[in-house]
């Protein structure tokens, strides 16, 4: 009996062979994780500087005179020219801003609603052509807008959409539909099918289920699709300068180009116009960034 107790005590004092290995492994993982965290933080800070500094430079130079921009564009203003913003707004940016708002808002609303309808239809359609429709949508992502400028211009002339808001809204919606449909469909796949069955039992039809169940439950992906569409339509330049001739209908990208020609060398006012044009998207993303990020990662499991 004493021999057994002594054996047990001696076994307790003997270190286990895996305990030393585990400690080494965990310490190595800890060092690697800390090194990875430090490297990731460094690159993120560097990337933030690369992204933020051009915006900071634009804001600083928008508060300078043209002469000061040429002489000291990398320093703070000696005289803060806040009148550049007033001059830019009164010089035409206000009308360009309004046109961009009308075109972007219309494009976003139409794109989101039509894409949601198409995504809902693809979700419910289980026929033989379902995969072919998905491939057709993916093929739409491969079509470059620049390739279709000539046929689109002729189409705008035939339909008399040229030099109207529809000349921009229709192409914007058409080119944003494929990616938006795929995003919304991926999110719709994550909604439990039990909700559909319960709604059918309650007497809802397909359109009622779409409007009262799928749309309310998909706010995050709808916001994401809206932000992506608004970013595209607000900054689009090629269609805006080809399909619109009247200065009263120009959007901000094409309007600032004519604005620069009118002002010639007044770069402070032009940069002020650029800051005004970029402000809505920056503010919108700041308020919607949580929903935007959640919408981007949603539907990643199913698709």
pLDDT at 19: 45
Residue 28's pLDDT band (cuts 50, 70, 90): low
Residue 164's pLDDT band (cuts 50, 70, 90): very high
Q: What are the angstrom distances between the C-alpha of 52 and each of 45, 61, 140, 286?
A: 10, 14, 33, 14
Give the whole-number percent of the chain exceeding pLDDT 90.
Answer: 29
Q: Among 101-110, 148-157, 252-261, which is the least confidently predicted range?
A: 252-261
Q: What are the angstrom distances between the C-alpha of 129 and each of 117, 126, 132, 135, 185?
A: 18, 8, 5, 10, 16
- Distance between CA atoms of residues 77 and 245, nearest Å: 37
State yes or no: pLDDT of 31 exceeds 50: yes
> Which residue ranges form the domains of the chain, and what is each CATH number?
83-297 (1.10.3720.10)
- Distance between CA atoms of residues 290 and 285, nearest Å: 9
Task: Give Cα 30 distance to the centre of its chain.
Answer: 36
pLDDT at 251: 92
Give the whole-number percent of the chain exceeding pLDDT 70.
Answer: 82
- Distance between CA atoms of residues 176 and 112, nearest Å: 9
- Distance between CA atoms of residues 86 and 10, nearest Å: 87
Average pLDDT of span 169-174: 94
pLDDT digits (tens, 9 = 90+) for 71-92: 888 888 888 889 889 988 988 8
Residue 7's pLDDT band (cuts 50, 70, 90): very low
Question: Which residue from 256, 262, 219 is spatially nearest to 234, judged by alpha carbons?
Answer: 256
Q: Which residues of 138-165 are buried (b: 16+ CB within 10 A; e: fewer)?
A: eebeeeeeeeeeeebeeebeeeebbebb
Q: What are the angstrom distances between the C-alpha of 183 and each of 44, 173, 232, 296?
A: 27, 15, 16, 8
- Distance between CA atoms of residues 192 and 170, nearest Å: 34
Provide the 8-state DSSP code for 203.
T
- Distance between CA atoms of residues 31 and 198, nearest Å: 53
- Distance between CA atoms of residues 182 and 189, nearest Å: 11
The segment with the largest mean pLDDT, out of 112-121, 196-205, 252-261, is 112-121
Which carries the bigger pLDDT value, residue 14 or residue 174? 174
Do the Cβ atoms of 170 and 161 come closer than 8 Å? yes
What does the radius of gyration of the chain's CA atoms come to, in whole angstroms? 29
State yes or no: pLDDT of 65 exceeds 60: yes
Q: Which helix (H) or strand (E) holds 1?
A: none
Mean pLDDT across the chain: 82
Q: What are the angstrom distances between the C-alpha of 169 and each of 172, 208, 233, 288?
A: 5, 28, 9, 23
State yes or no: pLDDT of 113 exceeds 90: yes
Residue 202's pLDDT band (cuts 50, 70, 90): confident
| DSSP characters over 226-254 | HHHHHHHHHH--HHHHHS---GGG--HHH
Which carries the bigger pLDDT value, residue 34 or residue 81? 81
- pTM for the model stands at 0.79
State yes or no: pLDDT of 101 exceeds 90: yes
């Amino acid at each position: 009996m004493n021999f057994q107790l002594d054996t047990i005590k001696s076994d307790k004092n003997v270190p286990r062979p895996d305990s030393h290995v585990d400690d080494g492994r965990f310490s190595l993982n800890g060092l690697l994780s800390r090194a990875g965290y430090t490297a990731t933080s460094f690159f993120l800070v560097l990337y933030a500087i690369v992204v933020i500094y051009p915006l900071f430079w634009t804001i600083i130079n928008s508060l300078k005179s043209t002469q000061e921009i040429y002489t000291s564009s990398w320093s703070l203003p000696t005289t803060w020219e806040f009148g550049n913003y007033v001059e830019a707004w009164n010089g035409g940016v206000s009308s360009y801003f309004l046109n961009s708002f009308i075109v972007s808002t219309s494009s976003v609303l139409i794109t989101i609603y039509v894409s949601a309808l198409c995504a809902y239809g693809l979700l419910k359609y289980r026929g033989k052509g379902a995969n072919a429709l998905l491939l057709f949508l993916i093929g739409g992502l491969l079509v470059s807008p620049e390739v279709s400028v000539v046929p689109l211009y002729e189409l705008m002339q035939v339909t008399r959409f040229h030099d109207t808001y529809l000349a921009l809204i229709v192409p914007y919606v058409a080119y944003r539909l494929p990616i938006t449909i795929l995003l919304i469909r991926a999110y719709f796949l994550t909604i439990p099918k039990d909700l559909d069955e319960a709604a059918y039992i309650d007497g809802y039809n397909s359109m009622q289920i779409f409007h009262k169940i799928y749309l309310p439950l998909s706010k995050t992906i709808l916001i994401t699709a809206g932000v992506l569409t608004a970013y595209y339509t607000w900054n689009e330049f090629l269609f805006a300068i080809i399909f619109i001739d009247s200065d009263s209908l120009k959007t901000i990208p094409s309007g600032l180009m004519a604005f620069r020609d009118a002002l010639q060398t007044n770069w402070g006012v032009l940069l002020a116009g650029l800051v005004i044009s970029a402000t809505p998207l920056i503010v919108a993303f700041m308020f919607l960034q949580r929903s935007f990020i959640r919408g981007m990662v949603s539907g990643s499991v199913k698709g």
